[in-house]
């Protein structure tokens, strides 16, 4: 089980690189995992080309969900929103480097769910303009 | 270290009655099951009773004339008699089989609540209720414009009885509360609480999901109007529970679900409801599960509920003592003498999910989350807790392994 808590997961949980809030921001979204009460908020700033320049997360969660958030945000800096929208479950599992059962998979995927909801949300706003 | 832990209670012998306890979670990793507050394991006698029913007696009940139908009806009704005796209820008419505690409480909310409450009436609950004794009342309150009041939980984790006296001045029509908290382990002083509620004319409902499995319960002595519990937390199968109710209340209540079995006579545009308890048991019930429920009660009675209670007290006292020695660990709820074998805890800076995951690596099954009591976690300002809950088959040795497991968690997150 120590394998499960790989060094990178413990490191990112204890000393995250992307923890915080961005005000103002271009994209912000938050959501809960009702099964465990975890809560994640993600803020993103983008440039005029829809490329992510800054990102931060805040909230409460287990090592898996918070390490997942930190690694996810690191991976999207410099990427366009189009690329972000293509991110999938496998990308998260690759970053974490572990296999997960159905319950913990929800923890790992909560940040991606929040990020994608935020990205699709801003697209919705654009279409209204 | 094994052997007997309590006078006259041989836990190693008890463990042999539960097939699953001899399995390994993964090769070389034995199971340490500390999640009995969620559901208990099942002894061989219960599994055999259910299997034998299907192999030898299976038929639908109450309607058939043939031999199997007679045997099935007898098996189902015998189970009811056993459960009636187990909680010292006065008659089988007052024991309704439901799916579980949740359905029993919903039955009362639907049938008693809708016909005895009106807009502006108060319902008194507590801050330590499981969602099953909270959400049904929220639904009813929204529908009927009722007011929900809550007896507060003190920082120690017991009900604030001074506040309770004040809330009684709102003249609640119903008091619905748990006998034992599934998070804090707190055993509420029900007798006094019910007496005071009845003195102002309130009807009382008790969620007994965590109490009936663990210590002797006498519904007549408690004077509860309704008492709900589930088989699966007391060595029985899932899919069946029971509602005890005062006869005069049950008789005046309209049926809950409509269908077969709950009727005496049906015409195209009307029906006449059946007698108690069948009035509340529409459709083919969980017959094999009732048989298993009866076998579970037999099993618990043979061991002795007082012996089981004593054994769990020993485990709880020992676990609370051991956990008090661990820095950065906080146990929610009152001291050992006021609680049953449910221990919810958190470690500073380590999420409960991670604790449970690492424990699972050592074969230790505990629960992590809010245990269907989210408001209580909000009150204590904790997103989630780990919960170890004990039953008759747990040992002092397992408590030691659990404590070792916590140390391992701390080492990984060092």
Task: Work out the mean pLDDT of chain A and round it to a whole number.
Answer: 89
> Does residue B369 sit at the A interface (CB-CB below 8 Å)?
yes
- Quick one: fold of B47-301? 3.40.640
| Residue B301 CB neighbours (<10 A) | 14
B369 closest CB neighbour out of A2, A14, A37: A37
> Does residue A5 sit at the B interface (CB-CB below 8 Å)?
yes
Average pLDDT over residues A57-70: 93
Active site residue B235: no
DSSP labels, B339-365: B-SEEEEEETTB-HHHHHHHHHHTTEE
Residues A51, A54, A58, A61, CA torsion sign: positive
Task: Work out the mean pLDDT of chain B and round it to a whole number.
Answer: 95
Indicate whether A78 pLDDT > 80.
yes
Indicate whether B7 pLDDT > 70.
no
SS3 at position B128: coil
Q: Chains A and B: how many Cβ contacts under 8 Å?
A: 56
Condensed to tens digits (0 to 9), the pLDDT of residues B281-320 reads: 999 999 999 999 999 999 999 999 999 999 999 999 999 9
A1 closest CB neighbour out of B351, B361, B384: B361
Average pLDDT over residues B374-403: 94
Condensed to tens digits (0 to 9), the pLDDT of residues A16-54 reads: 999 999 999 999 999 988 776 789 999 999 999 999 999
Separation CA A86–CA A106 (nearest Å): 19
> Does residue A6 sit at the B interface (CB-CB below 8 Å)?
no
Orientation angle between helical segments A89-96 and A102-128, nearest 10 degrees: 130
Question: Which H helix or E strand runs over A66?
Answer: helix A63-76
Does B351 contact A1 at a Cβ distance shorter than 8 Å? no
Indicate whether B4 pLDDT > 70.
no
pTM over 0.90: yes
Indicate whether B219 pLDDT > 70.
yes
Does A63 contact B368 at a Cβ distance shorter than 8 Å? no
φ, ψ at B366 (rounded to 5°): -125, 170
Indicate whether A124 pLDDT > 80.
no
In this predicted structure, what is the pLDDT of residue A1? Answer: 46
β-pair type (B342-347, B329-331): antiparallel
Span of B116-120, B360-364, B379-383 with lowest mean pLDDT: B379-383
Residues near B285 by Cβ (< 8 Å), separated by ≥ 6?
Answer: B61, B76, B97, B240, B261
Average pLDDT over residues B109-135: 98
Domains with residue ranges and CATH for chain A: 7-124 (3.90.1010.10)
> Does residue B384 sit at the A interface (CB-CB below 8 Å)?
yes
User: Which residues between 97 and 126 in chain A have a beta carbon less than 8 angstroms from any beta carbon of chain B?
Assistant: 104, 107
| Partners of B344 in the β-ladder | B387
Indicate whether A123 pLDDT > 80.
no
Separation CA A48–CA B54 (nearest Å): 70
Residues of B in contact with A14 (CB under 8 A): 413
Residue of chain A nearest B411, judged by CA positions: A2
Residue whose C-alpha is closest to residue B114's, from B140, B145, B147, B148: B140
Question: Is the ipTM reported for this complex over the cut 0.85?
Answer: no
In this predicted structure, what is the pLDDT of residue B246? Answer: 98
Condensed to tens digits (0 to 9), the pLDDT of residues B11-52 reads: 999 999 999 999 999 999 999 999 999 999 999 999 999 999
Indicate whether A126 pLDDT > 50.
no
Span of B87-96, B139-148, B258-267, B356-365 with lowest mean pLDDT: B258-267
Indicate whether B175 pLDDT > 90.
yes
In this prediction, residue A104 has a pLDDT band, given cuts at 50, 70 and 90, of: confident
Residue of chain A nearest B354, judged by CA positions: A62
In this predicted structure, what is the pLDDT of residue B374? Answer: 85
Structure tokens at B222: 């408690």
> Does residue B361 sit at the A interface (CB-CB below 8 Å)?
yes
Residue of chain A nearest B383, judged by CA positions: A37
Where are chain B's structural domains? 11-30+304-412, 47-301
Q: How many helices (H) and strands (E) does chain A have?
A: 5, 3
| Residue B144 CB neighbours (<10 A) | 15
Does A5 contact B412 at a Cβ distance shorter than 8 Å? yes
| Residue B251 CB neighbours (<10 A) | 12
> Does residue A2 sit at the B interface (CB-CB below 8 Å)?
yes
Give CATH for domain B11-30+304-412.
3.90.1150.10
In this predicted structure, what is the pLDDT of residue B314? Answer: 97
Structure tokens at B316: 């709880």
SS3 at position B230: strand
Contact (Cβ atoms closer than 8 angstroms) between residue B93 and residue B247: yes
B357 closest CB neighbour out of A14, A39, A104: A104
Span of A26-35, B121-130, B187-196, B362-371 with lowest mean pLDDT: A26-35
| More confident call, B385 vs A4 | B385
In this predicted structure, what is the pLDDT of residue B414? Answer: 85
Contact (Cβ atoms closer than 8 angstroms) between residue B266 and residue B72: no
In this predicted structure, what is the pLDDT of residue B75? Answer: 97
In this predicted structure, what is the pLDDT of residue A98? Answer: 86
Span of B7-11, B71-75, B143-147 with lowest mean pLDDT: B7-11
Considering B52, B365, B372, B396, which one is annotated as catalytic? B372
Indicate whether B385 pLDDT > 70.
yes
> Does residue A61 sit at the B interface (CB-CB below 8 Å)?
yes
Residue whose C-alpha is closest to residue B382's, from B164, B124, B157, B152: B157
Give percent above pLDDT 70 in chain B.
Answer: 98
């Amino acid at each position: 089980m120590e394998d499960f808590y790989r060094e990178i997961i413990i490191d990112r949980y204890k000393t995250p690189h992307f923890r915080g809030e961005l005000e103002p921001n271009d994209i912000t979204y938050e959501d809960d995992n009702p099964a465990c009460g975890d809560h994640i908020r993600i803020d993103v700033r983008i440039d005029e080309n829809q490329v992510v320049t800054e990102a931060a997360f805040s909230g409460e969660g287990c090592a898996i969900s918070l390490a997942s958030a930190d690694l996810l945000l690191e991976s999207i800096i410099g990427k366009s929103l189009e690329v972000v929208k293509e991110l999938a479950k496998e990308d998260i599992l690759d970053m974490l480097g572990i296999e997960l059962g159905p319950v913990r998979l929800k923890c790992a995927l909560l940040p991606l769910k929040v990020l994608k909801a935020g990205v699709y949300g801003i697209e919705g706003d654009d279409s209204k303009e | 270290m094994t052997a007997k832990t309590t006078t006259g209670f041989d836990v190693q012998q008890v463990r042999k009655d539960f097939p699953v306890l001899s399995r390994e979670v993964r090769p070389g990793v034995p199971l340490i099951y500390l999640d009995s507050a969620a559901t208990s394991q099942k002894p061989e006698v219960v599994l055999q009773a259910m299997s034998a029913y299907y192999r030898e007696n299976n038929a639908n009940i109450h309607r058939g004339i043939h031999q199997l139908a007679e045997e099935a009806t007898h098996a189902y009704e015998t189970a009811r008699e056993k459960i009636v005796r187990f909680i010292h209820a006065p008659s089988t008419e007052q024991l309704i089989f439901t799916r579980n505690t949740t359905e029993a409480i919903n039955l009362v909310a639907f049938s008693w609540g809708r016909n005895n409450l009106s807009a502006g009436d108060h319902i008194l609950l507590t801050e330590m209720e499981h969602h099953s004794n909270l959400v049904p009342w929220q639904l009813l309150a929204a529908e009927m414009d009722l007011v929900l009041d809550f007896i507060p939980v003190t920082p120690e984790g017991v009900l604030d009885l001074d506040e309770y006296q004040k809330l009684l001045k709102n003249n609640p029509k119903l008091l619905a509360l748990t006998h034992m908290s599934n998070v804090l382990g707190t055993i509420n002083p029900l007798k006094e609480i019910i007496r005071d509620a009845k003195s102002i004319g309130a009807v009382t409902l008790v969620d007994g999901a965590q109490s009936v499995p663990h210590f002797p319960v006498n519904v007549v002595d408690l004077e509860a109007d309704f008492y709900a519990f589930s088989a699966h937390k007391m060595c029985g199968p899932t899919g069946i529970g029971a509602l005890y109710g005062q006869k005069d209340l049950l008789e005046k209540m309209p049926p809950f679900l409509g269908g077969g079995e709950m009727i005496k006579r049906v015409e195209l545009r009307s029906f006449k409801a059946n007698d108690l308890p069948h009035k509340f048991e529409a459709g083919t019930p969980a017959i094999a599960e009732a048989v298993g429920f009866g076998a579970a009660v037999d099993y618990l009675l043979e061991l002795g509920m007082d012996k089981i209670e004593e054994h769990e007290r020993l485990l709880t006292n020992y676990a609370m003592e051991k956990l008090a020695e661990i820095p950065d660990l906080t146990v929610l709820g009152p001291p050992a003498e006021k609680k049953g074998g449910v221990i919810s805890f958190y470690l500073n800076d380590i999420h409960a999910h991670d604790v449970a995951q690492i424990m699972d690596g050592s074969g230790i099954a505990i629960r992590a989350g809010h245990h269907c009591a989210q408001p209580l976690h909000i009150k204590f300002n904790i997103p989630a807790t780990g919960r170890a809950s004990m039953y008759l088959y747990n040992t002092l040795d397992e408590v030691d392994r659990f404590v070792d497991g916590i140390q391992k968690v701390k080492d990984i997150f060092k």
